[in-house]
Each structure stands twice: as structure tokens, then as C-alpha cells.
Amino acid sequence: MRVLLAEDDAMIGTAVRDRLRGSGLAVDWVQDGRAADAALAGGTYDLLLLDLGLPGREGLAVLKRLRGRGSTLPVVIVTARDAVDDRVAGLDAGADDYLVKPFDLKELEARLRAVLRRRGGHASSVIEHGRISLDLASHEVRDDGVPVPVSPREFALLHALLERPGRILSRAQLEERLYGWGEEVGSNVVEVHIHSLRRKLGPDLIRNVRGVGYRIPEDPA
């Protein structure tokens, strides 16, 4: 999953970025509203974490411009503004959730999962496909009920493919889901992760579509 973090506080931004990257998410971090607008116009994201008090352009203006373009990108506001009127304004402008600083990083992660579940039409944090289950809350993968140890990036790659079984994702699309700005990406890193997942979960789980990318078959059988 690729997240855009729009936060001007260096301490908070560093903590959130490092926590989410440690969970296997790709995080791009901008520190003003105009940079957030540019990133949203030029990148593909799964979620926006948005501070309201951004320099250059207020977070609420960024949100309104985003929704004005017809974007349905999930947005979680993270701000020190705790007045009821501020919360109402943010939610009415199109935010999916509103979290007041200071906050616990565990709660932030739980809110992100809840927003993405709702957008994806899932009632549970567990994705099941045949014998494979993926728990987004505990970051646990099970094969026929047996826990299988995977790295954070292996988990993120498997999550990307299991979101919509049958959909083909190119290597470039998978790299975007795994790595944020400034993170070094090896030339064959996706292939290495897929090889490891096939070794742990079976050679037929992830299929190679020659010249296009990778997919997990829609039919788990």
C-alpha cells in the first residue's frame, strides 16, 4: 500500500513515516500543501494522511481540491485542531476519518485499516483466499491455518495481489506499493520477494503473466 503523508511537523512526520514503513507500507512525505497537491496530481496512492495546518496551502484546501477533481482517495485527517467545528468541516469536506494530535501510532494504524476496509467493502481485517489468510491487524499470514513467517515487504506484496485476485500488477506497480521516495529499489527486488513467497506458500499461488506482470488466480482452487 502506498501512502502520502502531508505533515509539516518533522518529529511527527518522521515517527509516522518510520512506523508505517516498518509495517511494509510505502510512504511519501511532503511538508506543505502545494507539495501535497503536486504529489496527488502526479502519483498513485491508496491513502492520504493529511494535516490541516500545512504551510503554503491549508490541508482543508488540499482536501477540497482533491474532492473537486472527483477523487475518491481515502483521506484521514491528522491534526491538532480538536474543536467540533473543525472536525465537522473536515468530514464534510470529504475526509473519511479525523484523528486529533497527540495520538498513539497503534490507533493511527487501526484507523487506516478501518478506512481501507470500508473502501474495499470488507467487514474484517482478515483477507481469505483458499487456504491462505492475511491478517492486516496482526500482519500474520496463515497457510491452511498454520502461521507462515514473512517479511513486511513480502506481506505488502501479498496484500497487493490479494486485494483483487485475478488482477495483474506489473513489476512497476508492485514497486510503487512497496517503496516510497528515497528508498533504494533493486533491479530484481520484486522477483526476489515473489520467489520467497512461492517457496513459503507454494509455487502456484502467484502466477507470472509473461511480459505483463503477476497475479493470484481468482479461483483459489
Q: What is the pLDDT of residues 99-132, one digit of tens each?
A: 999 899 999 999 998 888 777 666 678 888 889 9
Spell out the long-range contacts of 132-138 with Cβ–Cβ below 8 A and sequence spacing 24 or more: 132/162, 132/201, 132/205, 132/220, 134/158, 134/159, 134/162, 137/110, 137/113
List of domains in the chain: 2-120 (3.40.50.2300), 126-215 (1.10.10.10)
User: Residue 139: its pLDDT value, please?
Assistant: 85
Answer yes or no: pTM beyond 0.95. no
Q: What is the pLDDT of residues 184-200, one digit of tens each?
A: 777 788 899 999 999 99
